Amino acid sequence: MTDHLVEVTQLRKEFGGLVATNDIDFTVERGSIVSLIGPNGAGKTTFFNQLTGVYQPTSGSILFDGVEVVGMPPHAITALGIGRTFQNIRLFAQMTALENVLVGMHSCLHGGILGSIFRTPKVRREEAAAREKARELLVYSGLPKRHEEQAGSLPYGDQRRLEVARALATDPKLLLLDEPTAGMNPQETATFIAFVRRVRDEKQLTVLLIEHDMKVVMGVSERCTVLEYGEKIAEGTPAVIQSNERVIEAYLGKGAVG
C-alpha cells in the first residue's frame, strides 16, 4: 500500500454561487513531486489556500500525515509541517533577508514573552542557533550573501529563492510552491528545477507545485493533476497527461485535438 502524506476527499469550496473546488479527491504520495496544473481560474490557488487553512472548505476532508486539518487555523497547519510560497511574492519587504527566514522559524522557537524580555540563557542560545540555521538555509537556497539587505530591495530571482528559504525555515514535510518559476528565464528555471529535486532528496520533503510552464511540469514532477473549473479532469504521469485529450482541450480549446 502506498504511503500518502496528503489525502483529500470530496473537497468542496463555494464562493456564493461559484464552485471553486468541486468535490475533489486527491492524494500525494510521500516523497514525491506533484504538479497541479490547469488554466487560469481553475481553482489551483484556492486549493492551496484550503490546504493551508486560509480558506475553510465548504465540505470535505483533508488529511495531512493522518491528521484532519480542516478547521485548524493556518499557523497550526504550518506547525504540522506545511510550508508554502506565494504566486505573487509575499516577502516581508521591510525586513532583512535574514529576518524573513527567522520569522519562518517562529513556530520552532519556544521562548515566550517573558523569556524574551528577561533574555534567559536558554532563549539566547536558541536565538543564536536560529540565526546560524537561518544563514545556512539562505546559503542552501542559493543566497550566499546580502543577508542583511531589505528583502524588498533584492533582485527578483533572489526574492523567489528567499521565499523558498523562508518556507523551508518552517521545517515542512510538505512544500507548496505556487508558480515558483513565474518570471524566471529558461536558465533560472532549469537551476530552480534542479534545486527542487535536490531539496526533496536531501530534506526528505514532498513537493506540490502549481505550474503553468509545461516544460517545468515535465521536467520536475512525477505526477500531475489537472484542474479545470474547479474539477479534477485528469491525473497521472506527465507523459500520460500530455497526451490526454481533455487536457489538451482545456489548454488549447476544442478542435485542437486530432
Partner 1 sequence: MLPRLRGARVTDLIGLTLLGLLLIWLAVNFVKGPAAFIDISLIGLTNGTIYGVVALGYTLVYGILQLINFAHGDVFALSGLVASTVIVSVLGLDEGSSALVIIGGLAVTLVVIMVGFSLFNASIERVAYRPLRNAPRLAPLITAVGMSFVVENISLALYGVNYRTVPNLISHSDVIHIGGITYSWSKASVLIIVIPLLVVLSWFVRSTKQGKAMRAVAQDTEASAMMGIDVDHTIAVTFLIAGALAGAAGIVYLMQFNMRFDTGFELGLIAFTAAVLGGIGNLSGAVLGALCIGFIQAFNEGLGWFAPGSDWTRSMVFGILILVLVFRPEGILGEQTPEGA
User: Counting beta carbons within 10 angstroms of the beta carbon of residue 128, is it exposed (0 to 12), middle (13 to 18) or buried (19 or more)?
Assistant: exposed
Decide: is 54 part of the binding site for partner 1 (CB under 8 A): yes
Decide: is 52 part of the binding site for partner 1 (CB under 8 A): yes
Q: Is the dihedral of CA 23, 89, 5, 69 positive or negative?
A: negative
Strands of the 206-210 sheet, one edge to the other: 82-84, 174-178, 206-210, 33-37, 223-228, 231-236
| Binding test (CB under 8 A) with partner 1, winner from 91, 207, 208, 220 | 91
First-residue to last-residue Cα distance in the chain: 38
| Binding test (CB under 8 A) with partner 1, winner from 41, 67, 71, 93 | 93
Minimum distance of partner 1 from residue 95's CB (angstroms) = 7
Q: Which is nearer to partner 1, 108 or 252 (CB)?
A: 108
Report the C-alpha gap between 43 and 50 in whole angstroms.
11
**x/- track of binding to partner 1 for residues 198-237 (CB under 8 A):** ----------------------------------------
Q: Which residues bind partner 1 (CB under 8 A)?
A: 52-54, 73-75, 78-79, 83-84, 86, 90-95, 99, 102-104, 106-109, 111, 113, 116-117, 166-167, 169-170
